[in-house]
Amino acid sequence: MLDIRLVREQPDFVKERLATRGGDDASKIDELLRIDRERRKTETALQTLQAERKKLSKEIGALRGKGEASAGLEDRVRAIGDEFNALNEQATAAENQQRELLLQIPNLPHAKAPIGRDASENPTVREWGEKPTLAGARDHVALGESLKLFDLDRAAKLSGSGFICFTGAGARLERALINFLLELHTREHGYTEMSPPFLVRRECMVGTTQLPKFEDDMYGLAGNEMFLAPTAEVPVTNFYREELLHVDALPKKFAAYTPCFRREAGSAGRETRGIIRVHQFDKVELVKVTTPETSYAEHEALTHDAERVLQLLGLHYRVVELCTGDVTFGSAKTYDIEVWAPGQKAYLEVSSCSNFEDFQARRMNLRFKDAEGKNRFCHTLNGSGVALPRLFVALIETYQQTDGSIRLPEILLPYFGAAEISF
């Protein structure tokens, strides 16, 4: 969430930055400022009252110690109590209102973020490799069916539409890719592997900004007290929530494989062919906790770490920077990595690498003690490294052979145990 002091001191700047996202956050800022004024006024009155009560109570203690009467004073303190309760209620209400409102307001896009309305205005930052020329390329659904890599019809029988069940070589390939990704990021890119819980508390979902705004997209359990994590970002970023880290311990770098659970409410019919958008998918996620000074350098590095996956697998991709109208709720700056899928004749988003600056850290009270001994909020970052089903799609569509088999890139041999998938 935003720093209330920044909002208070530079409301026009905040409104201006928020306006680049589109939407009507300016009115929320005005409301926030009104509540903030009220809150502080109430708190000041409350504190004066408390100071009075504290002083009198001490006098009573002193009188009693000497065995003297204190009934008059006690009556006055009792009277203060009623006034206190009323004011206290007001102060608490204002505080809650302020926090709730702050939780609804998105992060300020980075000062240099490209201005734009929606995804169509995202500039391409770079491209790697070339589109393979495949005459009559089949798409992954046809390939998957003929090679029995997955079974969508029977998965629907188990769990409904939008679920995958990998089978045979498909299941093996999925597992091989997970191992390939984890090995790459932990052995070569210096991330610490983490295998976190998939089920997380409500507070964690608030910490990483999935809640309260996007509750409808989440799978909640036990009366929505717990949630199936929609990404490993949630458990991994919240790992140090409410902690004070030492500056020397930063940056923290984690790589985690987890399944991801998403309702995808409202996205029916959009990019839903085959296994491109599903309710449960595997992903290896990269998460960093850094100082404010290094977060942008770490962001570039994290993006490159994710790109390296596609480079090693020889898959053509492009990196786009999300414009102000498309950047996600909590992010200040995001790169999407989109891999080319010849069967789709389209780029598929396989990774979204974001710098949240202190937006998440403030929500989860994640701080560090800097060299001067001052406590400051950390910066948090994450990016997919990468999402499995779409990688799977690009891989089998890119490496399909004219005879219907798939010849895998050599680097996967130790993980998959074979060079090709055929009948």
Partner RNA sequence: GGUGAGGUGGCUGAGUGGUCGAAAGCAGCGCUUUGCUAAAGCGCCGUAGUCCAAAAGGCUACCGAGGGUUCGAAUCCCUCCCUCACCGCCA
Min dist CB 289 to RNA, Å, is 16
The answer to whether 195 contacts RNA (rule: CB under 7 A) is no
Q: Residues 74, 127, 217, 370: which binds RNA (CB under 7 A)?
A: 74
Token pair recorded at residue 383: 């990016």
**Site for RNA, residues 343 to 372, rule: CB under 7 A:** 369
Annotated catalytic residue within 277, 362, 363, 367? 277
Written as one string, the DSSP assignment of 89-150 is HHHHHHHHHHHHHHHHSPPPPPTTPPP-SSGGGPPEEEEES-----TTPPPHHHHHHHTT-B
Query: How many residues touch RNA (CB under 7 A)?
Result: 33
In the complex, what is the shortest distance from the CB of residue 376 to RNA, in angstroms, rounded to a whole number? 8
Residue type, 336: D
Tell me: does residue 50 bind RNA (CB under 7 A). Answer: yes
Only segment of 17-25, 56-64, 163-171, 255-263 that touches RNA (CB under 7 A): 56-64
318 is catalytic: no
Query: 390 an active-site residue?
Result: yes
To the query of whether residue 349 is one of the catalytic residues in this protein, the response is yes
Question: CA-CA distance, 356 to 383, in Å (whole number)?
Answer: 11
Euclidean distance between CA atoms 337 and 306, whole angstroms: 8
Bridge partners of 282, per DSSP, are 259
Instruction: Please state the closest distance from residue 40 (CB atom) to RNA, in A.
Output: 4
3-state secondary structure of 224: coil
Alpha carbon distance 163, 254 (integer Å) = 28
Residue 244 interacting with RNA (CB under 7 A)? yes
Given a contact cutoff of 8 angstroms between Cβ atoms, the answer to whether 394 and 410 are in contact is no
Give the nearest distance from C-beta 180 to RNA in angstroms.
27
Asked if 389 and 278 touch (Cβ cutoff 8 Å), the reply is: yes
- Establish if 51 lies at the interface with RNA (CB under 7 A): yes
Q: How far apart are CA 168 and CA 179, in angstroms?
A: 17
Q: Is 54 in the site for RNA (CB under 7 A)?
A: yes
Q: Which is nearer to RNA, 92 or 267 (CB)?
A: 92
Residue 65 makes contact with RNA by CB under 7 A: yes
Cβ nearer to RNA, comparing 68 with 410? 68
Shortest spacing between CB 305 and RNA, in angstroms = 30
Alpha-carbon distances of 372 from 8, 214, 247, 367, 369, rounded to whole Å: 27, 38, 10, 14, 8
- Tell me how far apart the alpha carbons of residues 246 and 209 are, in angstroms, rounded to a whole number: 25
Positions marked catalytic: 262, 277, 349, 352, 390
Q: What is the contact surface with RNA in residues (CB under 7 A)?
A: 4-5, 36, 39-41, 43-44, 46-48, 50-51, 53-58, 60-61, 64-65, 74, 77-78, 81, 92, 244, 369, 373-375
